[in-house]
Amino acid sequence: MAKNKTWSSWKNSLQLRLTLGYALLIAVLLLLMNTYPLLMSQNLMFRSQQTALENQALLIANSLTTADSLTPETVEQALGPLDELDVQRLLITDEAGLVLYDSDQADSSAGRYALTGAVVSALEGNNAFFGRYDGGSFTSSAALPVMTRNTVVGAVCLFNEDAAQGALLQQLQGNLRLISLVVCLAVLVLFAAFSNLLARRVGVLLGGIRRVRAGEYTHRVTMKGHDELVQLAEEFNQLTGRLQATEARRRRFVSDASHELKTPLASIRLLTDSILQDETIDRATTREFVGDIGQAADRLIHISESLLSLNRLDEGRTVGREPVAVNAQAEKLCRLLSPLAEEAGVRLETALEPDCVARCGEEDVNQILRNLIENAIKYNSPGGHVLVSTHCQGGQVVLEVADSGVGIPEEDLPRIFERFYRVDKARSRAAGGTGLGLSIVLDTVRLYDGDVTVQSTLGEGSCFTATLPAWTQEEGEA
């Protein structure tokens, strides 16, 4: 089973494919290297043979052109003054192909007809050449017509066998084979080393991916060099870093959420136990406990609603793109929250620039302003005040909620937008806070490419500023 798996992964491996690809490439190159130069050399040798034979045949044919017809005697006569020929065999025929002269005394064909292809072609008035390379030697023949007053009176046919050139070609062939073998071996060794290195580096990456997939988010891949694989490893490490951060955030969120839900659930449990176990409990106390249970339930509802809102924001829900009159929303919320402000002894005021229209969803503006104004009231002191203002600036609607409350310590400022983060936990819980309000505000404005910032001085107050895209004239006309 394991063997099968190893074979199937090797069969599909990058290393095998690369090896086969390269082997094919080398095979084609070597084939070309072994055939093309040999064919070219063969060709060159044939041509030099042809020139040499034809020149000699021409010399003989010219010396025979004086006779009207060829006879063994005229041929002997004409050949007499010629130097010794550098050929293996010379045949001279008359116009009918009858051999008048044969230089091969041992196996003479004189007196017989030599109607070979070359002779027939020459007797038809053409120059003919045939060459063959076989068994390490060149065999070639050339035939030329003997012309007297434009009439073919015979043919000169030369045969040659060149073993020296054949041996040269064979040696060339042998050398090429040896070079090919050495090249082949060198390339294979180099390639095996290269593909092994590549496979090992890919293996490191693959191993890293598998470990991270199994949940080991602290794992990082280390790779030397500057090539694409190193870049890939760096990208992978960055991705793993982000995964690790996300995972850490997720775990913290789950633990914070469970903790947050556990508190009201525990009070419900405690209160119900008290009612059930105390048989003498009077009606007024029961009512008080049931009221407390209701409050704990309200808190649970509040937490779950906030969690649901965050979940919808995390999933990247579709955003509203309608014109929202933010002033009307601010006024409505101030009216709604004025009992809360009165209860806390806080003065709630507005300074709204007319015609401030944002391009977003109405419920989102409501969510942002409600959270900011509620916080400004919650974290305020009796006699304090809250100012809700709006204005338009550079294509954006700016919502500002300033208070004269407790303020936020500087070291806590970067963290107050984190989920479940609270500066003063007891105060937040007592005021019904969940630690999720500002995260919802931040995630909501970011949906619209907006932002939220805070300026705060401990003991003096805070000012939260949120921006949203403004509804432009053109959008209204479109």
Cα angle at 158 between 152 and 163, to 5 degrees?
A: 165
Taking contact as CB under 6 A, which single stretch among the options 36-44, 166-174, 321-329, 418-426 is the one that binds ligand ADP? 418-426
What pairs with residue 456 in β-bridges? 462
- Least separation in angstroms between CB 421 and ligand ADP: 6
How many chain residues interact with ligand ADP (CB under 6 A)? 23
By CB under 6 A, the residues from 441 to 470 that bind ligand ADP are: 462
The C-alpha atoms of residue 132 and residue 6 are separated, in whole angstroms, by: 54
Q: Which CB, 212 or 406, lies closer to ligand ADP?
A: 406
Binding ligand ADP (rule: CB under 6 A), the pick from 45, 436, 442, 468 is 436
Q: Which CB, 154 or 435, lies closer to ligand ADP?
A: 435
Taking contact as CB under 6 A, which single stretch among the options 188-196, 206-214, 347-355, 416-424 is the one that binds ligand ADP? 416-424
The C-alpha atoms of residue 301 and residue 294 are separated, in whole angstroms, by: 10
CB-based contacts of 20-29 (< 8 A; 24+ apart in sequence): 22/187, 22/191, 23/188, 26/183, 26/184, 26/187, 26/188
Q: Which CB, 264 or 435, lies closer to ligand ADP?
A: 435
Asked whether 128 and 42 are in contact (CB, 8 A), the reply is no
Asked whether 390 and 468 are in contact (CB, 8 A), the reply is no
| Pairing state between β 347-352 and 385-393 | parallel
Asked if 400 is part of the footprint of ligand ADP (rule: CB under 6 A), the reply reads no
The C-alpha atoms of residue 399 and residue 365 are separated, in whole angstroms, by: 9
Q: Which CB, 60 or 310, lies closer to ligand ADP?
A: 310
Asked if 369 is part of the footprint of ligand ADP (rule: CB under 6 A), the reply reads no
Q: How many CB atoms lie within 10 A of CB 17?
A: 12
Taking contact as CB under 6 A, which single stretch among the options 31-39, 340-348, 354-362, 422-430 is the one that binds ligand ADP? 422-430
Asked if 376 is part of the footprint of ligand ADP (rule: CB under 6 A), the reply reads yes
The C-alpha atoms of residue 169 and residue 477 are separated, in whole angstroms, by: 89
Asked whether 57 and 156 are in contact (CB, 8 A), the reply is yes
Taking contact as CB under 6 A, which single stretch among the options 5-13, 208-216, 251-259, 429-437 is the one that binds ligand ADP? 429-437
Binding ligand ADP (rule: CB under 6 A), the pick from 375, 389, 444, 467 is 375
The kind and range of the H/E element at 419 are none
Would you list the DSSP string of 315-343? TTPPPP-EEEEHHHHHHHHHHHHHHHHHH
Q: Which CB, 144 or 438, lies closer to ligand ADP?
A: 438
- Least separation in angstroms between CB 429 and ligand ADP: 8
Taking contact as CB under 6 A, which single stretch among the options 94-102, 180-188, 213-221, 427-435 is the one that binds ligand ADP? 427-435
Asked if 406 is part of the footprint of ligand ADP (rule: CB under 6 A), the reply reads yes
Give residues in contact with ligand ADP (CB under 6 A).
371, 375-376, 379, 403, 405-408, 416, 421-424, 428, 433-439, 462
